[in-house]
């Protein structure tokens, strides 16, 4: 019988939650997630999804995405440097081998890395638990060997999952998942072990969605980002919110799009008194250390816990 609910988190209404205050009294935690990806020209077949919608292989699709790695990332990096913003890289781990020069540029800037699978054309669908463990272990070991950094975040490759994914990344001491889109604040996930946070990573302001699915112009996208930010900052007065801008350099870094995007960054960074500019790991770590327990206690106090796996690592209030 199919499940009616994946039971990964409890229903937790926005109204009257315990207050979150970010470091130095900031109201909004802001992070940018450049997706640095590699799409294989002739990826292995997966019965549940075609990697190239136009047909396999797709010379046009491959070359479009190659633009990001050849040109776009440098353009985006230089723009973020201008506003003293560090990226949290959603990394296809194969980039360590295919484009080590991009990784070196990220390391020089003290950017964060988190896992986005090995390739964006190799899906989690159909993986056994052992296969998925092997991928996670490869991701952790490879990034640490080449950068010295222990990855703490996870975004499933092409947003594909198994029933084991969330429990496995918690078991491997990941701190946050970007794969759920239920909230504008962090929330504990219900896992067998570990303390895994669902960290806001918006599809609504992801440039793949805005430029692709919604066909927005560059100026429209900039306006959406400003309004998204303004609303979250206003609500952050009551309790700290999170805004993430997920980006793809083959899209946002096109010459005709980069300047309107800069206007949005200019607007956001002008509010430095109220905004904590951070990485995904910094936000998730701060939340785990300071607000995990009060969230779990509030859910239990309101009688909202739905049972199931439950929260690991919780302290009874």
Q: Where are the domains of the chain?
A: 23-301
- The tokens describing 219, both together, are 């100026």
Question: Over the stretch 282-307, which tens digit does the pLDDT of each residue have?
Answer: 999 999 999 999 999 999 988 877 76
**What CA–CA distance (Å, rounded) separates 18 from 39?**
42
Q: In the predicted model, is pLDDT for residue 315 greater than 50?
A: no
pLDDT reported for residue 192: 94
On whether the 23-301 domain is CATH 3.20.20.370, my answer is: yes
Residues 6+ away with beta carbon under 8 Å from 15: none
Q: Are 312 and 193 in contact (CB under 8 A)?
A: yes
Residues 6+ away with beta carbon under 8 Å from 266: 83
The DSSP bridge partners found for residue 243 are 30
Q: What letter does residue 7 receive in the DSSP assignment?
A: -
Q: Where are the alpha helices (DSSP H) in 68-182?
A: 73-82, 95-98, 100-108, 129-147, 165-171
pLDDT band at 181 (very low <50, low <70, confident <90, very high): very high
**Residue 150, phi then psi, degrees to nearest 5:** -90, 115
Predicted TM-score (pTM) of the model is 0.93
CA dihedral 171, 177, 180, 186 (to 10 degrees): 110
Strands 28-36 and 275-277: parallel
pLDDT reported for residue 138: 96
**What CA–CA distance (Å, rounded) separates 286 from 246?**
21
């Amino acid at each position: 019988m199919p499940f009616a609910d994946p039971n990964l988190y409890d229903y937790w209404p926005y109204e009257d939650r315990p207050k979150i205050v970010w470091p130095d009294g900031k109201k909004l935690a802001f992070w940018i997630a450049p997706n640095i990806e590699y799409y294989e020209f002739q990826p292995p077949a997966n019965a549940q999804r075609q990697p190239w919608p136009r047909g396999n292989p797709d010379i046009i699709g491959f070359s479009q995405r190659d633009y990001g790695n050849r040109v776009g990332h440098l353009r985006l990096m230089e723009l973020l440097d201008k506003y003293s913003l560090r990226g949290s890289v959603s990394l296809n781990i194969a980039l360590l081998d295919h484009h080590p020069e991009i990784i070196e540029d990220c390391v020089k800037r003290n950017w964060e890395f988190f896992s986005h699978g090995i390739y964006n054309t190799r899906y989690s669908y159909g993986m056994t638990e052992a296969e998925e463990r092997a991928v996670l272990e490869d991701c952790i070991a490879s990034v640490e060997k080449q950068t010295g950094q222990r990855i703490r975040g996870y975004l499933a490759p092409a947003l594909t999952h198994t029933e084991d994914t969330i429990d496995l990344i918690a078991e491997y001491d990941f701190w946050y998942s970007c794969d759920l889109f239920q909230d504008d604040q962090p929330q504990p996930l219900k896992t067998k072990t570990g303390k895994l946070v669902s960290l806001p990573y918006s599809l609504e302001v992801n440039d793949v969605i805005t430029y692709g699915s919604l066909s927005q112009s560059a100026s429209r996208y900039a306006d959406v980002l400003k309004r998204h930010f303004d609303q979250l900052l206003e609500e952050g007065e009551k309790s700290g919110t999170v805004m993430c801008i997920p980006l793809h350099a083959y899209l946002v870094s096109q010459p005709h799009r980069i300047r309107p995007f800069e206007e949005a960054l200019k607007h956001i960074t002008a509010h430095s008194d109220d905004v904590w500019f951070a990485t995904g790991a910094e936000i998730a770590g701060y939340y785990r250390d300071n607000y995990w327990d009060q969230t779990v206690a509030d859910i239990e106090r309101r009688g909202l816990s739905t049972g199931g796996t439950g929260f690991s690592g919780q302290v009874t209030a």
